[in-house]
Amino acid sequence: MTSRALILGCAGKSLSPEEAAFFREVRPWGFILFKRNIGTPEEVRGLTDALRACIGRNTAPILIDQEGGRVQRMGPPHWPAYPAGGRYGRLNGSARTIARLGARLMAHDLADVGINVDCAPVLDVPAPGAHDIIGDRAYGTDPASVAAIGRAVAEGLMAGGVLPVMKHIPGHGRAACDSHHGLPIVESSRESLIAQDFRPFEALADLPMAMSAHVVFTAIDPEHPATQSATVIREVIRGTIGFDGLLMTDDLSMHALTGTFRERTERAFAAGIDIGLHCNGAMEEMRAVAEAAPLLAGRAAERAATALARLGPAGDGLDLPEARAQFAAALAAA
């Protein structure tokens, strides 16, 4: 049976009967977990199994934001604390090696509890004076460093059987406000955006999945945030950047977007988004989003299938205790 072009969240550490019935009816393509959903490893594994059972697909994508630093949904006491992306950027010659190892270890943690997609790497290039919503999540302050470390993180995740999602395409680094709370408007020229903000995404355009930015770029489309802009998606994301993978929205419940949830969803799909993302698990909102979201079909379905085809089991023979010790020693030495 065809999936709906949606990734949805749930409210707690286990599914309510209402949630299970809703997911069986709607059949979202995938799910996303947040800290509210994370208990013990056994509880997380039980939740991922239950989510997949609802839609009858054992390999359905289950996402999480596991970057390290302040964006880490799974952490102590059951999982290690990982550094923020900015820490890697300060390691100079060893940055790529250590970042790849850190991502490989994260992939082990995630795959062990049934999570197969990580919303990383963060490819935003922070600009001076911008809001710190990106801040130390960025791997560096120049496009080349961000791209190089971002590539290493993506490689580490995929080596561990977890798909990466690059974010926030085409760039959130100049935003003067947090898109969770308001709509960032970036007034930089197209030329400066191409030279800095878009470059890491262009360098990693071969990755399977990307998450859009709820940011207005006045030089390209002064009326609509990238998530809902046909011009940005067509000319920049698919054009200048050259990304032809699966494009999902950032969270449709964020306050950068306006209108009803039906309107937010319809605008995103009309602009050319492949998959809608709704994260907070609020049932009334999810119902409105699901009513507006299409079935996964056509080019979007092809992109989704291509992305999942790159998902495979870890095959690098990781010695977990040795790798954890190596990672800790490298960070300590640096």
pLDDT, tens digit (0-9, with 9 covering 90-100), for 3-38:
999 999 999 999 999 999 999 999 999 999 999 999
Quick one: how far is CA 210 from the chain centroid? 7
Task: Tell me if residue 10 falls in helix, strand or coil.
Answer: coil
Are the CB atoms for 183 and 225 separated by under 8 Å? Answer: yes
Tokens of 301: 């379905």
Q: Tell me, what's the pLDDT at 86?
A: 94
Give the DSSP H or E segment for 296.
none
- 65, 124, 221, 250: which is the annotated catalytic residue? 250
Q: In the predicted model, what is the mean pLDDT of residues 115-136?
A: 94
Which of 180, 181, 206, 255 is catalytic? The answer is: 180
Please state the rounded mean pLDDT for residues 89-115.
Answer: 95
- Reported as a single tens digit per residue, the pLDDT across 288-307 is 999 999 999 999 999 999 99
pLDDT in tens, 130-188: 888 999 999 999 999 999 999 999 999 999 999 999 999 999 999 888 788 889 999 99
Does 250 score more than 90 pLDDT?
yes
Q: What is the pLDDT of residue 176?
A: 81
Dump the DSSP string for 87-151.
Answer: HHHTSGGGHHHHHHHHHHHHHHHHHHTT--EE---B-----TT--TTTGGGSS-SSHHHHHHHHH
**How much is the average pLDDT of 270-298?**
98
Percent of the chain with pLDDT over 90: 90
Place of tokens 């009309």: 270
- Confirm whether 250 is a catalytic residue: yes
In the residue annotation, 78 being an active-site residue is answered as: no
CATH no. for 4-333: 3.20.20.300
The whole-number pLDDT of residue 129 equals 86
User: Does 315 score more than 90 pLDDT?
Assistant: no
User: Residue 328's Cα: distance from chain center in Å?
Assistant: 26
- Is residue 116 scored above 80 in pLDDT? yes
- Mean pLDDT of the 69-96 span: 94
261: closest CA among 226, 289, 284?
A: 289
Average confidence (pLDDT) over 64-86: 97
Strands, E assignment, the chain: 4-8, 28-33, 62-64, 66-68, 71-72, 117-118, 163-164, 166-169, 185-186, 209-212, 216-217, 246-248, 276-278
pTM for the model? 0.96
pLDDT at 333 exceeding the cut of 90:
no
User: Where does 179-256 have alpha helices with state H?
Assistant: 190-192, 199-203, 230-231
pLDDT of residue 38: 98
Res. 317: pLDDT tops 90: no
pLDDT tier at 268 (50, 70, 90 boundaries)? very high
The pLDDT tens digits of the residues spanning 211-229 come to 999 999 999 999 999 999 9
pLDDT of residue 92: 79
Residue 49 DSSP symbol: H
Side-chain-side CA neighbours of residue 117 (13 Å): 29
